Amino acid sequence: MPLEPGVVDTNVLVYALDVDAPQHALSRALLEASRRTSVTLYVTPQIVCEFYSVVTNPRRVLKPCSPAAALAAISSLLGFLRFLPVPAHTVGELIHLLGRRPVTGGDVFDLQLLATMNVNGIHRIYTFNIDDFAAFSEIAAATP
C-alpha cells in the first residue's frame, strides 16, 4: 500500500510502543515509512492525550509507561508526525456530523476526530479499529 497523507490513530501509536503486540511490526513500519518519505502523517491533540492516557494506564496495557517515558515517546513521535490543526469551526462540523449520525458515549470521540479530519481535508486514517470508522464512512464521504 502506498503511503498517503493521513491521521495516525491512537491504537497505532500504542502498538508501535508495545513490542509484544501482534500489531507492533506493522505500526513501526508505518511510522518508519513516514520518516523516510515526504508524506505527512498527522496526530491531533486528542490523539496525543489518548496515547498518554492509554500507555500510562495499567488497566489498558500490560507494561504501562511512567509519565516521563510517555512524554519522551510523545516528543519522539512529534519529531516526524505533524499536528493537524483543530480550528474553531471544527465544533460546527462535529455538530453537523452528530445531526447526521447521532452516537452515544465514547463514540463521540471518533466522530470528533472525523470532524477534525474533514475540516482539514484529510480523508485517510491509519487505524486497527477499522470498525470504529467504517460506521461513519457514509457521512464522511458525503461531507464537503
The predicted pLDDT at position 138 comes to 53
Is 1 within a domain?
A: no
Q: How confident is the model at residue 137 (pLDDT cuts 50, 70, 90)?
A: low
Residue 43 β-bridge partners: 83
3-state DSSP assignment of residue 89 = coil
Is 52 within a domain?
A: yes
Structural domains counted in the chain = 2
Do residues 135 and 102 both lie within one domain? Answer: yes
For the stretch 12-43, pLDDT in tens is 999 999 999 999 999 999 999 988 888 899 99
Contacts of residue 47, Cβ cutoff 8 Å, sequence gap at least 6: 7, 8, 9, 10, 13, 113
Do residues 78 and 95 both lie within one domain? Answer: no
Do residues 62 and 102 both lie within one domain? Answer: no
Tell whether the model's pLDDT for residue 75 goes beyond 80.
yes
Cα first-last separation, the chain:
26
